[in-house]
Amino acid sequence: MKKLLALLCVAAMLFTGSVIAAADEELPTVVILGTGGTIAGTGEAGKTTGYSAGELDIQSLIDGVPGIEKLAKLQGEQVLNTASDNVTDKDWIVLANRINELAKDPKIAGFVITHGTDTLEETAYFLDLTVKTDKPVICVGAMRPATATSADGPLNLYQSVALARSPEAVGQGVMVVFSDGIFSARQVTKITTYRTNAFDGKDFGALGYMVDDKPYFYTKDVRPHTTATPFDVSGLEELPKVGVAYFHIDAEQEIIDMFMDRYDGVIVAGAGNGSMSTLWHNRIKERVDGGDSTIVVRAGRMDNGIVTEYATNPQTIAGNNLNPQKARILLQLCLTLTHDREVIRDYFAKY
């Protein structure tokens, strides 16, 4: 009798084991690429400030999220580990090329990028224009370091993995998950220096919500992205240089001159409708009409609204509704393809 019971126990264990193995086999694979930021930051136990960003490695972040292993088979890779203010154009190219390479693997369902919040929207928009896959690519961060009381990183990371493996996220371009919201890379922007509800799509809000591990989508980003753009960074090591000149009352002519001397392209962070003083306008006109090939794009200092073309100043290009830091990225990518002002004007109307 005892022998029979023991045999039954072994059989039951083997059966359960194989069920678990089968369930595990069925889990999709999600690759998490770590770049640092507050989500990987550590400091004094409980405190939300005075910490160092980019301290924990990607495996420690994964290990700190209860239940994440039930969502997907996770493959962590450390691309860099720094505060996101230190991320460079070169890092973007490495990241985009790595995603493009991994995306060819049919076993991989999606990607999560852990990143500092300061420049998260820039990396997300760059990837939105340069990754060549329909697989979900989700950027995520945290406002509180991992050592803070009520750190927000673990839930943000959990929900990012849940979205990255989700069939509803396929073909939606690069997205940001933050504080239960899903945002499009093109529209999302950081809206607070401190609080955890740190991102918003401004005029266009969120694409949807994450409720635990389930996405609820309500809207879509209709601009071409990922596989539908002409931007290819596979053979590049760096991007053309584009600077952002912040216009303000009484800004001297030397400022715009310095930017036009130094960069291939200049984004004017203008007031109102990408506006600037007559002094700056006339100086740009004079230089462009005199043969200066620098491309000047007018963007708005505020996050809402659209910047429209100025019939009286075709020497500049309207930045549409991109904020200056995103207009900079689009112009850098345009300049990898062409220096033709009219072609670039069309790209700004389209992407």
Out of 68, 83, 109, 210, which residue is the one contacting ligand DAS (CB under 6 A)?
A: 83
**Nearest approach, Cβ of 211 to ligand DAS (angstroms)?**
24
- Catalytic pick from 35, 38, 117, 130? 38
Among 76, 116, 181, 265, binds ligand DAS (CB under 6 A): 116
Terminal-to-terminal C-alpha distance of the chain: 74
Closest CA to 39 of 167, 135, 176, 162: 176
Q: Which is nearer to ligand DAS, 260 or 329 (CB)?
A: 329
- The least distance separating ligand DAS from the CB of residue 86, rounded to whole angstroms, comes to 8
Task: Check: CB of residue 197 under 8 Å from CB of residue 144.
Answer: no
The stretch among 20-28, 81-89, 122-130, 340-348 that binds ligand DAS (CB under 6 A) is: 81-89
* Catalytic residue list contains 38: yes
Binding flag, residue 139, ligand DAS (CB under 6 A): no
Contact pick of 43, 61, 79, 84 for ligand DAS (by CB under 6 A): 84
Rounded distance between C-alpha atoms, residue 264 and residue 215, angstroms: 41
| Residue 210 in contact with ligand DAS, rule: CB under 6 A | no
- Of the residues 31, 34, 37, 322, which one makes contact with ligand DAS according to CB under 6 A: 37
Q: Does 102 bind ligand DAS (CB under 6 A)?
A: no
Tokens of 166: 């989700």
Task: Please report how close the Cβ of residue 61 comes to ligand DAS at its closest, in angstroms.
Answer: 13
Q: Is 62 in the site for ligand DAS (CB under 6 A)?
A: no
Report CA-CA distances (Å) from 105 to 74, 98, 109, 128: 14, 12, 9, 19
**Nearer Cβ to ligand DAS (178/280):** 178
Stretch that binds ligand DAS, among 83-91, 222-230, 264-272, 296-304 (CB under 6 A): 83-91
CB nearer ligand DAS, residue 142 or residue 169: 142
Please report whether residue 53 would count as binding ligand DAS according to CB under 6 A. yes
Q: Is 38 in the site for ligand DAS (CB under 6 A)?
A: yes
The only residue of 117, 316, 321, 332 in contact with ligand DAS, by rule CB under 6 A: 117
118 is an interface residue for ligand DAS by CB under 6 A = yes
Cβ-based nearer residue to ligand DAS, 145 or 215 = 145
Which residues are marked as active site? 38
Q: Residue numbers of the site for ligand DAS (CB under 6 A)?
A: 37-38, 53, 83-85, 116-118, 141, 143
